Amino acid sequence: MPIELQTQQWPAQTRRAILLVHGVGNAGPGDYLALLADVKLMLGDQADGTVIYQLWYDQVNDWFAAKTDLGDLLASAVASLRSEINDPELGEAVAETVGDVLWPVLVADARAAVREVYVAQLKQIVLDGINAGVPARRQKLSIICHSLGCFHTYEALHHIALFPSHALQPATHEVRFANVILMASPVQLIRTVADKLGSLVPNRRWLYAVQGDALSIPFEKTLTGMIVPSVRRWVSITGNLDPVGGFFFRNKAPWAYMQVAGQESRVDDQSPLNISSKQQLAQLLRDSRRTMSPPLITASNPHSWENYVRLNSGELRQWIAT
């Protein structure tokens, strides 16, 4: 079935749009309704003036899962992670949990295809805005992404800043995101593991997460040498019990925590989840795993996207509304 982009008519006077990008899952239109409700609740009276899009890319993932068996390679990636975590109580459970976000690194075509779905959806959003009479320079675009969705966001934003053919560059096409809010981002973790995997990672040249000396906010250099970043506010939110976001039982792991120059950082205190021991956290992570299916992330899981939105609703509203 061909990919269908989400297109919406922007109501009159609306200049604001949000793209929600989910993480590991098997989602399609009609899913993440609770999250959508949380986002609308967070926006409050601003919700009516905000067009909300959701990116669905699992259809593409399914193509590759059906045709590429990465069992052994993923096992070596997980083993690499386990040695990096170096924690006898948490290592195994965390490595397996985080392993779910590593597979796109290993298939160049899968990376390229998901990135293309993402970029095409961004183009459709900007076009919807222009069709409603709002030029790109006046659009207030925000992205809220979670988990593996942060990796795809990082790759897509860097790609569009580099390639004029997508008509989404920050200077030449005036597409600058007001907010990119990455929740439980595994981008640094993926960078570290990809570095450890070395030559096992195909087409590294076009894997933006491993480029340069450090992770960065994408930008375009104009003809006169001016640097125009693609993003005005780059926010990282994670929890101090969320291993995907770089915290291993309240300890920040610099090799796994995303730190981008210019980023605003928030670390949620996840004490209310009442996880009092590493064993309890490991058990919770194991319980979320399902055979042949994406993990089931409940509200008691420190990786819950809904919890991040609820816990930070005040700041989110302020960032998005202004």
Partner 1 sequence: MDRHMIASRQLHVAVAAFVLASASSARTAAAQPPTARFDTAQTRAYTIGALVEASRSAVSLVRGAPGSAALVARVERLLVRVDRPDVIRLPLDVLVRAPFRQGDAREASFARVARWQRRAVVPGLGAGDAADLDSLARLTVAELKFAMEGRQPPVSDDSVDIILTPYTALQRGELQVSIATSLEKLNRFERKYGPEAPRLNLAEVGLNYVAQWVPPFRPNADGWPSRFEIVASYVPSYLTIADEKARAVTVAELGLRSYLWQRGWGGAVGGILRPGYLSVGVAVAGDRDGAFVSPLRGKARVGGFIGWGETKVAVIGGDERRLLITRQMQLLPWVF
Contacting residues toward partner 1, per CB under 8 A: 2-3, 5, 60, 63-64, 66-69, 73, 106-109, 112-113, 115-117, 119-120, 123-124, 126-127, 130-131, 133-138, 159, 163-167, 171-174, 202-203, 206, 222-224, 226, 228
Residue 226 identity (one-letter amino acid):
M
Q: How far apart are CA 252 and CA 259, in angstroms?
A: 11
Query: Counting Cβ atoms within 10 Å, is residue 270 exposed (0-12), middle (13-18) or buried (19+)?
Result: buried
Q: What is the full DSSP assignment across 82-146?
A: HHHH--TTTHHHHHHHHHTTTHHHH-HHHHHHHHHHHHHHHHHHHHHHHHTT--GGG-EEEEEEE
Tokens 């899009």 belong to residue:
53
Q: How far is the CB of 131 from partner 1 (least distance, A)?
A: 6
Residue 304: how many CB atoms within 10 A of its CB? 23
Nearer to partner 1, 73 or 157 (CB): 73
Q: At what angle do helices 33-43 and 313-321 cross, to 10 degrees?
A: 70
Q: How far is the CB of 49 from partner 1 (least distance, A)?
A: 15
Helix (H, G, I), strand (E, B) or coil at 184: coil
Nearer to partner 1, 276 or 293 (CB): 293
Nearer to partner 1, 68 or 300 (CB): 68
Nearer to partner 1, 46 or 222 (CB): 222
Name which of 197, 192, 304, 314 is nearest 255 in CA terms.
Answer: 192
Q: How far is the CB of 167 from partner 1 (least distance, A)?
A: 4
Radius of gyration of the chain (CA): 19
Q: How far is the CB of 207 from partner 1 (least distance, A)?
A: 12
Q: How far is the CB of 130 from partner 1 (least distance, A)?
A: 5
Nearer to partner 1, 66 or 261 (CB): 66
Nearer to partner 1, 123 or 266 (CB): 123
Nearer to partner 1, 43 or 171 (CB): 171
Q: How far is the CB of 159 from partner 1 (least distance, A)?
A: 8
Q: How far apart are CA 96 and CA 283, in angstroms?
A: 12
The helix or strand, by DSSP H or E, that contains position 80, with its residue range, turns out to be helix 71-85
Nearer to partner 1, 67 or 286 (CB): 67
Q: How far is the CB of 305 from partner 1 (least distance, A)?
A: 26
Q: How far apart are CA 108 and CA 204, in angstroms?
A: 8
Q: How far is the CB of 58 from partner 1 (least distance, A)?
A: 13
